[in-house]
Chains A and B, each alone.
Chain A
Amino acid sequence: MADRGRRKVRTTVAAYAAAAVLGVLAGLVSLYLALGQIIATGTVQVGPWRTNPAIGSPSASPYLRAAISLAAVLALASKEALYFFAFTDSDGAPLTARCSYTIEGPEPQVRWWSITAYRRNGYLPETTSGRASLNARSVSHRPDATFTAAIAGVGSPAGPGDIAFAEDTGFNLLLRLYGARPDVAGDLPRAMLPAIRRTVCR
């Protein structure tokens, strides 16, 4: 009888311990998924670009602060720089180094800008050109104040200023704008940002 009672207590303790472990895992997984969504969707969307004006700022929500600490820790507050993430091209297809892309649009009216490619995990990829970033100096400027630049997929021909992938990977882009005029920073949904167009795939 006493053995049966002890066995019942042990079973109960084991069941509650398993429930607690399951809860801890559920808490971590739900946070991971929530933080991923915060960056992927943003609060402001312009074409394929996503941002949140509170990035880096003390006014950021706990979720945004945690998401940025995973995705772009030590980001600048928006009064100094604006960050726009792109995980798809302008047609909504995921970015992949199996395809090549043209990036074109109005020249950003800022002090300095760049578009950097990262692997899905947020780290710089291997490129044949040694370049993982397009910027105000590397792109081709047109007379009508627009620019064009290219991202070459693995094995595709590339120009000297292009990002040319050396590894087959999914990727994402981060557009950084430094020294944006206050009217641009204050009206992000109307920001004139470049289009990302897929040109050819392997």
Chain B
Amino acid sequence: MTVRRSAGLLATVVLAAIATHAAALALLPTLIVGEIIRRTSADYGINALAVPPQPSAEWQPIVRPSPDFLYGICAYDLTDGPVLLSAPKLGTYTSVALYASNSDNFYVENDRRSAAPAIGLVIARAGDRPATDVPVVVSPSPRGLVLVRVLADDDSSAARAADLLREGRCQRLR
């Protein structure tokens, strides 16, 4: 093998390694969140708030879930317009977190940040002008996830929290 050919092969290995490393690094969060959005919308629909079972050793749809929380989840799609989100405050720690398609938690609010009886907001794209009197949050991506966390560290509080959380909404703004 000539020196020239050896150098060419080595350069191919190095360039392929750098390109793969960089591409996988950039795409990984989007691929993982995209898969969660795909599964959530397949199981519960798009722009719909679902209350799955509380995480346990038998049911854990994502890595490192907290078994102390009941989760409400909504895969949103702003293609057809803004989405209205409403989550009741349940007298215990409750938070609403919005995630862009690249996994960034770009907005979070909890039950103590306002005196209103529910956490309400509209998710919109930049440039949308939704007619609403609740806070408008601009999503950096047209699709994303809403995660509502409700502290429910015993069976009785979990059952009550699940009933109340189902009264929440995640739907296209009319």
**Chain A residues at the B interface, C-beta cutoff of 8 Å:** 12, 15-16, 19-24, 26-28, 30-31, 56-58, 60, 62-63, 65-66, 68-77, 79-80, 111-112, 114, 116, 118, 121-127, 130-133, 135, 137-138, 174, 176, 178-179
Contact = CB atoms under 8 A, between A and B. Distances in A.
Interface of B: 5, 8-10, 12-22, 24-26, 28-29, 32-33, 36, 55-57, 60, 62-68, 93, 95, 97, 99-100, 102-106, 108, 110, 112, 140, 145, 147, 151, 153
Nearest to B65: A124
Contacts of A125: 57
Contacts of B64: 71-72, 116, 118, 122-123, 174
Contacts of B16: 19-24, 26-27
B150 to A, nearest CB: 11
A24 B16 CA distance: 5
A178 B103 contact: no
A69 B99 CA distance: 12
A64 to B, nearest CB: 10
Contact of A176 (B66, B95, B97, B112): B66
Contacts of B100: 58
Q: Which 9 A-B pairs have the closest CB atoms?
A: A23-B16, A27-B20, A19-B12, A27-B21, A69-B29, A26-B17, A122-B63, A27-B17, A56-B105
